[in-house]
Amino acid sequence: MDCSSSLDISLNLNTNAFDRSFPAKLPEEEVKVSTSAGVERKWLVKDKSASELREELNRVYSENKKIKEMLETVCEKYYALHHHLEKLQSRKSPGIDHIEQPTKKRKQDPEDFLGFPNGKTENSSSNQDHHHQQYEQKNQLLSCKRPVTDSFNKAKVSTVYFPADSSDTSLTVKDGYQWRKYGQKVTRDNPSPRAYFRCSFAPSCPVKKKVQRSAEDPSILVATYEGTHNHLGPNASEGDATSQGGSSTVTLDMVHHGGQRLATEKNERGMMQEFLVQQMASSLTNDSNFTAALAAAITGRLMEQSRT
Amino acid sequence: STTSALVDELNRVSAENKKLSEMLTLTCENYNVLRKQLM
């Protein structure tokens, strides 16, 4: 409600200084207009004496002044209440609905806030203090709760880039976990669709991932992981894709050279594997025990075959 | 002339009072609506 537009009391009137004792005259429950104003009077009778007219004019002036005072006070209270309501509404958060109850309790006693005279509040200052303490406590609770909910809702997000065959349209990446695909959609910024997966390695695992080909380089699959696995990784070598965070997250400018980089890495990894195989073969052949055992095994196998 | 001036002034102030009273009624109504909303 735009109160400022509907409640403009500035009528360019010659107002005098107000007596601020007005709120004491307001009723306890609701504000009601209790003046006799509103009755339209037309002074068309000319036969009244000037003194009577002056007297009546003075009465109307005082009534005018009184109405202005009331109007100003009610407007002030209205704006204050409006601000209070706005503050309360801005405080509202979907995650903390259960704490709303105590705040409403405070709301049930708006006279405290409004400053209107109320026998109950005047006579029970200890109760008011108690309510105030409760209100403060709830506020503290609210202020403490909010960051917790915020941090809780803030899921860990990491991005991993995988090389992909351009002919493969399955949008699956081998990160060691089991994933259940639950959706796919086409995005505006990318010609290839985006697939949505949920970790099915553990029943209550909250981790989700989105997989989409890179718009810059379609030979790269970009997997975005959200959340943290609530279970151990499939095995040590495969590791936790989401926990690789820093190492696996590649910035966007690297995407331009991503294909070349990944190809180099692949070559290096292949060379390393070949080297390891060669080293293992040479160490085994150099081991005389192993050679003898192997020879015995082969001989035994040949003997068995010749018998059958 | 003094009497007519007084009558004119009385009519003006009365009309102003009426306008102010209407505004006050409206403000009170809005206020009470807001108050009920808070409760």
- Chain A partners within 8 Å of B32 (Cβ): 30-31
> Within 10 A of A29 (CB to CB), how many other CB atoms are there?
11
pLDDT in tens, A249-301: 443 444 444 555 566 666 667 777 777 777 777 777 777 777 777 777 777 77
pLDDT score for A158: 81
In chain A, which among 67-96 make CB contacts under 8 A with chain B? 67-68, 70-71, 74-75, 77-78, 81-82, 84-85, 88
pLDDT in tens, A209-234: 998 888 877 788 888 888 888 777 76
pLDDT score for A58: 92
Burial class of residue A79, CB neighbours in 10 A (0-12, 13-18, 19+): middle
Q: Could B7 and A75 be called an inter-chain contact, meaning their C-beta atoms sit closer than 8 Å?
A: no
As given in the structure block, the two tokens for residue A107 are: 């709301």
pLDDT score for B17: 92
Q: At what angle do helices A258-286 and A288-307 cross, to 10 degrees?
A: 80
Give DSSP secondary structure letters for chain A: --HHHH----------PPPTTGGGGS-SSS----SSTT---------S-HHHHHHHHHHHHHHHHHHHHHHHHHHHHHHHHHHHHHHHHHH--GGGGGGHHHHHHHHT-HHHHHT---HHHHH-HHHHHHHHHHHHHHHHHHHHHHHHHHHHHS--EEEEEEE--TT--S----SSS-EEEEEEE--TT-SS-EEEEEE-SSTT---EEEEEE-SS-TTEEEEEEES--SS--S-TTT--TGGGHHHH---HHHHHTHHHHHHHHHHHHHHHHHHHHHHHHHHHHH-HHHHHHHHHHHHHHHHHHHH-
User: In chain A, how long is the greatest CA-to-CA distance?
Assistant: 149
Q: Give yes or no for B7 touching A (CB within 8 A).
A: yes
pLDDT score for A261: 58
| ipTM exceeds 0.85, yes or no | yes
- Chain B partners within 8 Å of A85 (Cβ): 34, 37-38
The number of angstroms, rounded, from the C-alpha of A189 to the middle of its chain's C-alpha atoms is 25
pLDDT score for A93: 53
DSSP state of B4: H
Q: Could A54 and B6 be called an inter-chain contact, meaning their C-beta atoms sit closer than 8 Å?
A: yes
- Chain A partners within 8 Å of B2 (Cβ): 50
B37: nearest CB among A3, A85, A114: A85
Q: Closest Cα of chain A to B18: distance in Å?
A: 4
Q: Could A48 and B15 be called an inter-chain contact, meaning their C-beta atoms sit closer than 8 Å?
A: no
pLDDT score for A165: 76
Q: Closest Cα of chain B to A150: distance in Å?
A: 27
Greater pLDDT, A117 or B24: B24
pLDDT along chain A (308 residues), means of 10: 41 38 38 46 58 89 92 88 84 52 42 40 41 44 40 64 77 82 85 88 83 83 84 57 41 46 66 72 72 77 72
Give DSSP secondary structure letters for A191-234: SS-EEEEEE-SSTT---EEEEEE-SS-TTEEEEEEES--SS--S
